Structure 1
Amino acid sequence: MELIPFAVLFFVSVAADEVDILHDSDNHWISSENGFANSKVLSSLVGAHFTVKDLKVKKFTKKELKVEIPENYNAIDAYPQCNFIGSIKTQSNCMSCWAVSVASALSDRLCIASNGKINKELSAEEILSCCSKCGTCKGGCTAKAWAFTKSRGLVSGGDYGSNEGCQPYSIKPCGKKCDKDIAATPKCHKHSCTNENYKVPFNKDIHRTEKIYRVNESITDIQREILLHGPVVANYDVYADFGNYSRGIYRWRETSGKKLGEHSVKIIGWGTCPMCGMKYWIAANTWGPDWGEKGFFKIMRGWNKVGFENQVSAGIPKLS
């Protein structure tokens, strides 16, 4: 099966007179007329279909299957020594969430697997610029990004302007004012760091995965995977109302509007609403801290109308 690159939506547009509909008490989430909702770049941000179905399904051992699943869990609280788990990324006007989310999840897993000894952000820039089979700023393929982490590996790289790591993200954040023009895909630096102040040699800075896989379309399996190894990447459909999300538990409904594109984010945990009993996932978006709950969002668990649990992927970092 051929993996088709996808272009990811990072802003959506909902008319002002539609916003009030989203405050319906049956929704359990609050919308806002933010810059993302009012953006006029809608037509240039939708993408094609993507899949992680070619990745092998993770098979849990008997011991792993006995892991008890708690009612509430957040990897940020579980691993305070791995401070980048709670770091919100900004893809800017580049459809790179497929690269950003994979690099972010692998960074978390590397820190967790090493018991906090390797606590650094891995470079989404390197995936975006050097994995020609993965995609570009016009979209890409999550499964191929994971494959890149196994075959080539990733050097370190922080956010734009952070001066951290070997190859930091080079596309300047545009916040709520991104225009309709997609940024140019950064140039690949195959054997050198772009950060002249970073002192670790390129070849000494590479971190790889030893296994890559998708997680079965099962809530319990996804929870188990996060508990055992850390955050995972979810691919899902984005509908017209999602950009208006401000807080609460998002769920698709008949008034959500048309499907606008497909997106990749990092799942870091789950919980249950104490007031309404609704179960949800906790996810880190790649649209910066001005969107949603400081960059995070909750989405209804088990509803799956947007395919949130259908295409979950992950990898195991190689420590030696």
Structure 2
Amino acid sequence: MKHSNRKLLTCIGMALMASSVPAQSFNVDMDRFDNVITAPNSYTAGGLQNGLWNSFTDIPSLDILSVSGQATAISLSIVNFQGNGLFSPGVPAPDSEMYSDFALLNPNKTYTFTGLIPGEYTVHVHSYHPPTNGVWRTQIRVDGSNEGVQELGASFWPGAPQAGLTYSTHTISFQSTGTLLIRGRAANPVGGVGGAVNGIQVVRTGDVCAGVRYCFPPELNSLGLASFISCSGSDSIAANNLTLTGNLLVPNQPAFFVIGSGNAVVSLPFGRLCVSGGLARMPVGITSPSPNSIFSFTVDYNNMPAGAPTISPGTTTYWQLFQRDPQGVGGGSLTDAMAVTHIP
């Protein structure tokens, strides 16, 4: 009887987990076929995303499971596949379970994920492989993302996964079923060898966003993270369900969105203000406590603050998030910005 109850509770827990995570979010750990050390489901890679890790070994393709262990229509294949390697750079657990092994680029490699459903995605690519002589540096590009090429590399383990050093972050959206192309390149190959990818995390953040991001690249906050805006909901005034989210923020700090009627760029002590004309501040809140913090705000067109631009069909509003950043220059930091053109 106790065994049956335990089994029932386990099933309920798995069902709750499946319903609480975004569909088609997934993790991939690059594992060596003869010494598989796959990251456990509890591993978040620095607070980015936990859940099941797909193990990619010496095979040319892989059907992907979601972070909740559900089957998806996503498949991974690799161009210039040459097998994975094993490296023990002295990284302590739990990070060693993902960063201890890798896929060599030699010197270029393309990771192709097919079958992603429409939506907004954040992609994290992990690369840490310091050789005994110098530093292998890896360049990562995600086709169609706004962030461009990012270069990673460290001569020693920084103590935890770190944006811009051991992993890159990219954002991309698909209006219909999409193909995600991640291109890795050795920045300084030695004898044709160099560069590595330890793992890939893809987070589906929501449905296709009604807004268009601009003001690139996002400036780094005091944590070395490029904070950016995403959104969900509709650009319809009648629907009144547009939600804006600031991502990769400093945890537990006051934050608010600013709305404007223009997109002029003004340099301030704490970054670039990319909205202008008829500025108004939305209500202040507190960023989430997670290591890669977020702050979300749902716009209510029926309750806009004084001074906000008039919103009517055909008008465009411009949005940006400011947050308190005690260790940052000027005591604050800004995300990139987003333009939303409204429909009835």
Shorter chain as denominator, the TM-score bin is: under 0.3
Whose strand fraction is larger, Structure 1's or Structure 2's?
2
TM, length-normalised to structure 2 = 0.22
Larger helix proportion, structure 1 or 2? 1
Whose relative contact order is higher, 1 or 2, with alpha carbons under 8 Å and at least 6 apart? 1
